[in-house]
């Protein structure tokens, strides 16, 4: 599951809690989350997924491609 949220409007518009990341993890999906708001608190970086810079699409793409190419990593991060 990938949703690279980012802070907008000078910090006034952020993902508050990151419930969708917790829901994705609960279903066994590894998560790629943006570094804004509550998202980093919902993902154990390197364990249940990765936290990326929300304004860096190349970073998000790199993590998604890595997950797509490594079924064992997907399985481990989704446990």
Q: What is the pLDDT of residue 21?
A: 86
Helix (H) or strand (E) run with residue 2 in it: strand 2-3
Tell me how far apart the alpha carbons of residues 78 and 56 are, in angstroms, rounded to a whole number: 24
The 3-state secondary structure of 5-52, one letter per residue: CCCEHHHCECCCCCHHHHHHHHCCCCEEEECCCCHHHHCCECCCEEEE
Higher pLDDT, 52 or 9: 52
Q: What is the pLDDT of residue 75?
A: 96
* Cα angle, residue 78 at apex, residues 73 and 79 outer, rounded to 5°: 105
pLDDT tens digits, 62-77: 999 999 999 999 999 9
pLDDT tens digits, 24-79: 999 999 999 988 878 888 899 999 999 999 889 999 999 999 999 999 999 999 99
Q: What is the pLDDT of residue 3?
A: 80
Which CATH number does 2-78 carry?
3.40.50.2000
């Amino acid at each position: 599951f990938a949703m690279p949220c980012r802070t907008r409007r000078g910090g006034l518009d952020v993902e508050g809690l990151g419930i969708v990341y917790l829901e994705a993890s609960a279903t066994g999906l590894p998560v790629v989350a943006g570094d804004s708001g509550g998202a980093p608190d919902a993902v154990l970086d390197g364990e249940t997924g990765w936290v990326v810079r929300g304004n860096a699409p190349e970073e998000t793409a790199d993590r998604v491609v890595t997950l797509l190419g490594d079924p064992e990593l997907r399985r481990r991060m989704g446990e």
